[in-house]
């Protein structure tokens, strides 16, 4: 394990999920830890993006805000990749290898996790 990997793991909040048998489910533990660590960055980036894309975003109804955020995650590939990149940057080398070999499935899960986490804070 490199020094970078050790330092990244020190930053993450510990979340105990007990025994998890499947590798993808085990990796979700990593995702949740990194999402918790990067929460403020994800929220701030999302609000900045949505304010610039949809003028007066902060004054809109909560339901409209949720829908605009959902549509942006779904349709704006650059925005989605930016948010995912904020998470990927906090992976250790071993985690990054696993991510790259399961990228499509993990990105689906990660997008759902990001949506659930950020939408409540818009």
Give CA 65 to chain center in angstroms: 18
Question: What's residue 1's pLDDT?
Answer: 78
Question: What's residue 35's pLDDT?
Answer: 96
CA angle 101, 93, 81 (to 5 degrees): 60
Output the furthest CA–CA distance in the chain (Å, rounded): 47
Which residues touch 68 (CB under 8 Å, ≥6 apart)? 50, 53, 54, 57, 60
Question: What's residue 20's pLDDT?
Answer: 59
* pLDDT single digits (tens) 26-44: 899 899 999 999 999 999 9
Question: Residue 5: phi, psi to the nearest 5?
Answer: -60, -45
* pLDDT single digits (tens) 77-88: 999 999 999 999
In this prediction, the residues of the chain whose per-residue pLDDT falls under 70 are 15-21
Q: What is the pTM of this model?
A: 0.85
């Amino acid at each position: 394990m490199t020094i970078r990997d050790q330092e990244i793991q020190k930053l993450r909040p510990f979340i105990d999920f007990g025994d998890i048998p499947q590798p993808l489910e085990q990796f979700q533990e990593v995702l949740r830890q990194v999402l918790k660590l990067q929460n403020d960055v994800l929220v701030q980036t999302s609000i900045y993006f949505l304010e610039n894309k949809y003028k007066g975003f902060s004054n809109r109804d909560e339901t409209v805000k949720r829908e605009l955020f959902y549509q942006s995650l779904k349709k704006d590939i650059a925005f989605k990749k930016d948010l995912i990149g904020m998470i990927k940057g906090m992976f250790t080398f071993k985690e990054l290898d696993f991510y790259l070999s399961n990228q499509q499935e993990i990105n689906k899960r990660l997008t759902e996790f990001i949506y659930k986490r950020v939408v409540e804070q818009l």
